[in-house]
Structure 1
């Protein structure tokens, strides 16, 4: 019996020296276990429609339509997250005819959120340069914001009939 007690004590001493994180509990102590885990984090992303048709209208009128839902997904799992969505528009072209981007507006409309995020929309007159259209602040954990912006184009009275195409580039950072 005495040999067993000495052997157990020797094993405990060797374990304590070779594995410092492994403590041998005294019989009088309440044993405890440190438990850890990692909360994973993802990315910040923006999804937008690939195509939108505003419809048609005569020269001198305004052509306007929602372009479809846009969604910011913030899976970074931060304590105080913020992000900014920008929009830039190329000039609208039909062959050699153009309607400048500045003849168009971007109206955010209502924004639906999930999680904890404070969202501030900004309606803009579009241009070739990126402009802030939505900001998210005070985000906690994962969150989303979804909106369906309306793009309106004031068609000049001098516009020539035909299909005009431009590219709306939205990004989040």
Structure 2
């Protein structure tokens, strides 16, 4: 029986202007933006294993946005294809087969009464990461410290023709 193992790196990314970090943050420290927005995500996660044609569903770990300015912000999630070996068609799980759902927030701190809206509140609302998706949106008062944390779930549907191997890809969270 062929075994498919899936792991990946997440690159914390900040982005009022869409700034991209060139290297992964292996310490899981927050990425900084000029607007007082910070986002922290796990540096790496092993999702597990399955057989070709199987599905893996796993929590990614805590993703946290904190702001020193308050106000409105949107956290976005995107992904690359997951590949192994020579990256041939049989060695690629396309990002359209990778779904994400943020779920509800797991903790929040701060003053004021901001409104937090998950991009995908339930598993039934999971969205394929073939294009960037909203992970969370906040609307609040300017000048108010706020922190929000959620533990999203990634669902990977492995093609039946996939070859055995350890697949890796990148899931990126950004905030603006």
* TM-score relative to the length of structure 2: 0.69
Q: Is the 8 A contact 1:118 1:138 kept in 2?
A: yes
Tell me which of 44, 56, 59 is aligned to 1:63.
Answer: 56
| 2:26 equivalent in structure 1 | none
Q: 2:37 aligns with which of 25, 44, 55?
A: 44
**Aligned match of 2:32:** none
Deviations 1:46-103 (A, max 9, x none): 0000001110011111111101100000111x4xx00000011000001221110010
Q: How many residues align?
A: 128
Gaps of 5+ in 2: 1-34, 121-126
Matched residue, 1:75:
68
Q: Would you tell me which structure has more helix in proportion to its own residues? A: 1
Asked whether 1:166 is paired with 2:161, we answer no
Return the alpha-carbon distance in structure 1 between the equivalents of residues 141 and 108 of structure 2: 11
**SS of alignment partner, residue 133 of structure 1:** strand
Asked if structure 2 preserves the Cα contact closer than 8 Å seen for 1:60 and 1:156, the reply is yes
Aligned match for 1:101, one of 95, 103, 106 = 95
Deviation at 1:147, TM superposition (A): 0.4
Q: Which runs of 5+ in 1 are unaligned?
A: 1-41
Separation (CA, whole Å) in 1 of partners of 2:129 and 2:46: 17
Indicate the residue corresponding to 2:114 in structure 1.
Answer: 117
Give the 3-state SS of the residue equivalent to 1:151 in structure 2.
strand
SS in 2 for 1:59: coil
Change (3 A) 1:139 1:108: farther
Q: Does 1:136 align with 2:138?
A: yes
Larger radius of gyration: 1
C-alpha distance in structure 1 between counterparts of 2:141 and 2:97, whole Å: 34
